[in-house]
Amino acid sequence: MTDLLIIGAGLAGLTAGWHAAKAGQRVKVIAKGMGVTHWHAGTIDVLGYTADGAGVSRLLEAIATLPAEHSYGLLGEERIASALSAFTTLTAEIGLPYAGAHNPGENLWLPSPVGAARPTFLAPLGQVAGDLSTSQPLLVVGIEGMRDFYPKLIAENLSKQGHTARHAFLPLSLFTPRQDVTTLQLAKLVEEPSRLAQLAEGLARLVKPGERVGLPAVLGFEDHPAVLARLQEVTGAPVFEIPTLPPSVPGIRLHSRLRRHLEQMGVRVEVGMEAIGFGTNGDRIAWVETETSSRPLKHRATNFLLATGGILGGGINSDHTGRAWEVVFDLPLTIPQARDGWFRPHFLDGGGQPVFRGGVSVNQHFQPIHPDRTPVYTNLWAAGGILSGADPIRERSVEGIAVATGTSIAYSVLRSQDNDG
């Protein structure tokens, strides 16, 4: 018998699974796909911009000003801080350590693939040296013919923002005779000792004293920390990764190490299983049914965590009549049921698109609720992108909401079982 069945293998589901498994729960994760981590920067964005568009420097101070229905409002600063701290521990455990800004509690400002400064709270050690809060000159090195990274653009925009930055190229032939390589293939090629030596040597010739070196985020896959250390040793300069157009190597690194870690702890993670139905027993979910290649399967559990993501993750679907629905349990949504009110005329409108603020409403335990605030099911919880009350992409809180709600729910579930027991 499963104690906790998690639907969704994104950061929310995996974080919750880790905490629950560590506390001795029998956990199973089922998922249709991989979650948003593969498409993002591999960082933990907690809150980058407030509702009025101001950049967030001191995180907890900004979080305190959020409305009560925001996931962070429901959690409170203490639970958020402890979730982030636990996540840092987790990254060290999986051999992919994350760190924050030099001044604790502040955001990092890291170069984006177009050379803007993107606010994030925790980043893999391989990205931290890019922090634009310091004034060290930057050399951005690209790979000729690589279509997902443009160093000249990054360097020019950094210069326009007052940084000292220049760019250079290394030839793709340094890594492969092929022309059509993906970022992930490049990352694996870089790990081969002869190629790594050539890369290090090439960089050493380019870098000037006092510079730090930014490279596309393809610096190894399994051996990323070793690749990074080797490049810093040979060049004598701080070396850091800048994210590329997706798929994201740092994101895939994080996801695959987390998944492997959970599996080593005895958690089953089944990807390629889409939840297609469920059964109830009174006010409780009894089972969730999934579609597999051979036959439908029923998964029974004591508690169920919905971590399927919002519109992007596939947890919410919609049609041309303006109907929007939650795909597994058909939970009540806060999205208006008419397309007229979903959007604003400008893509970059600072207020975001209204449709993306909608989602599943929850109580302070993160149980989905009806409009009258009673729980829909007593053993169902919801975490991450599917939650109502925030537009995580606009405010740059995608991973922060996932990690903080995933962590918190794991403990809420444990407490509920203690009470039941």
- Rule CB under 8 A: is residue 274 a binding residue for other proteins? no
Q: What is each CA distance from 93 to 8, 87, 121, 183, in whole angstroms?
A: 22, 10, 19, 26
* Helix, strand or coil, per DSSP, at residue 396: coil
H-assigned helices in 31-70: 59-63
Which residue of 350, 351, 370, 374 would you call a contact of other proteins, by CB under 8 A? Answer: 350
- Rule CB under 8 A: is residue 254 a binding residue for other proteins? no
Residue with Cβ nearer other proteins (70 or 230): 70
Residues 382-401 that bind other proteins (CB under 8 A): 393-394, 396, 398
Cβ distance 140 to 242 under 8 Å? yes
Which residue of 50, 57, 88, 112 would you call a contact of other proteins, by CB under 8 A? Answer: 112
Cβ distance 166 to 139 under 8 Å? yes
The minimum distance between CB 312 and other proteins, in angstroms, equals: 4
Q: Are strands 117-120 and 108-111 parallel, antiparallel or unpaired?
A: antiparallel
Cβ distance 63 to 77 under 8 Å? yes
- Rule CB under 8 A: is residue 177 a binding residue for other proteins? no
Which residue of 14, 18, 34, 45 would you call a contact of other proteins, by CB under 8 A? Answer: 45
Q: Interface with other proteins by CB under 8 A: which range of 18-26, 152-160, 229-237, 262-270?
A: 152-160
DSSP bridge pairs for 368: 362
Per-residue contact string for residues 210-249; x = within reach of other proteins by CB under 8 A: ---------------------------------x-xx-x-
- Rule CB under 8 A: is residue 317 a binding residue for other proteins? yes
The CA-based angle 44-46-50, given to 5 degrees, is 145
- Rule CB under 8 A: is residue 351 a binding residue for other proteins? no
Residue with Cβ nearer other proteins (159 or 198): 159
- Rule CB under 8 A: is residue 173 a binding residue for other proteins? no
132 vs 118: CA distance, rounded Å: 9
- Rule CB under 8 A: is residue 278 a binding residue for other proteins? no
Q: Interface with other proteins by CB under 8 A: which range of 60-68, 88-96, 337-345, 370-378?
A: 337-345
296 vs 38: CA distance, rounded Å: 27
- Rule CB under 8 A: is residue 403 a binding residue for other proteins? no
Q: Which amino acid is at 293?
A: S
- Rule CB under 8 A: is residue 52 a binding residue for other proteins? no
- Rule CB under 8 A: is residue 181 a binding residue for other proteins? yes
Tokens standing for residue 124: 């893999």
The minimum distance between CB 151 and other proteins, in angstroms, equals: 9
146 vs 246: CA distance, rounded Å: 13
The minimum distance between CB 90 and other proteins, in angstroms, equals: 22
229 vs 30: CA distance, rounded Å: 36
How many residues of this chain bind other proteins (CB under 8 A)? Answer: 60
Q: Interface with other proteins by CB under 8 A: which range of 142-150, 233-241, 280-288, 410-418?
A: 142-150
Tokens standing for residue 150: 């443009």
130 vs 138: CA distance, rounded Å: 8
Which residue of 96, 117, 275, 390 would you call a contact of other proteins, by CB under 8 A? Answer: 117
Residue with Cβ nearer other proteins (108 or 413): 108
The minimum distance between CB 348 and other proteins, in angstroms, equals: 5
Q: Please provide the DSSP assignment of 256-324 as one string.
A: HHHHHHHHHTT-EEEES-EEEEEEEETTEEEEEEEE-SS--EEEEEEEEEE---STTTTSEEE-TTS-E
Cβ distance 239 to 228 under 8 Å? yes
Q: Are strands 274-281 and 284-291 parallel, antiparallel or unpaired?
A: antiparallel
Q: Which residues in this chain contact other proteins in the complex, by CB under 8 A?
A: 36, 39-41, 45, 55, 112-119, 145, 147-150, 152-153, 156-157, 160-161, 178-181, 243, 245-246, 248, 310-312, 314, 317-322, 338-340, 342-343, 345-348, 350, 353, 355-356, 393-394, 396, 398
